[in-house]
Copies of this chain bind each other. A is one copy, B any other.
């Protein structure tokens, strides 16, 4: 008993996690494709292949579904930061992160949430995993920003928080979609263009 019970629990837990992982994957895709408001819980259930009521056994609300997707993205971001070579210059790390973020968006894997929805915001801010992840990422990026500024790689006159927000904003930059819709550029071209305008600006150097 002492040996079998833990195994049974572990197996059940694994099944649970696998299903929730599948749910989050669907939510992630649908949030990227249609946005929070246009995404319906019925769609999520249909996409996962389970009944809507079952979905609500895993997540208590639509907002919590979105929060789970954001936690997932945040974890992927943390993993990406972990893998960046220690010896790289801070400015290069920042460029890498932005490049990764834009790649995620162009691949249709970046959830898009309305920044105004208050019930969503409160759910998000009440989610410890999300808040902790956001704090961790912000602190790491903030440290690199200040280092890059002291090294003269980033304009030291800019408040670090403005730089941080500007980098975050690349995750929901409509320029990426517009350029994609124009149909004139490859995804790599688009990333290179926006990376250039972000770090080097529109003005000639």
Contacts and interface: CB of A to CB of B under 8 A. Distances in A.
B116 A155 contact: no
A61 to B, nearest CB: 17
Interface stretch (A19-27, A48-56, A191-199): A191-199
Contacts of A205: 155, 205
Interface of A: 34-35, 37-38, 91, 112, 114-117, 149, 152-156, 158-159, 161-163, 165-169, 172-175, 177-179, 182, 184-185, 193-194, 196-205
Given A162-B179, A175-B162, A179-B165, A155 B38 contact: no
Contacts of A156: 204
B193 A199 contact: no
A53 B178 CA distance: 37
Given A161-B182, A184-B161, A201 B204 contact: no
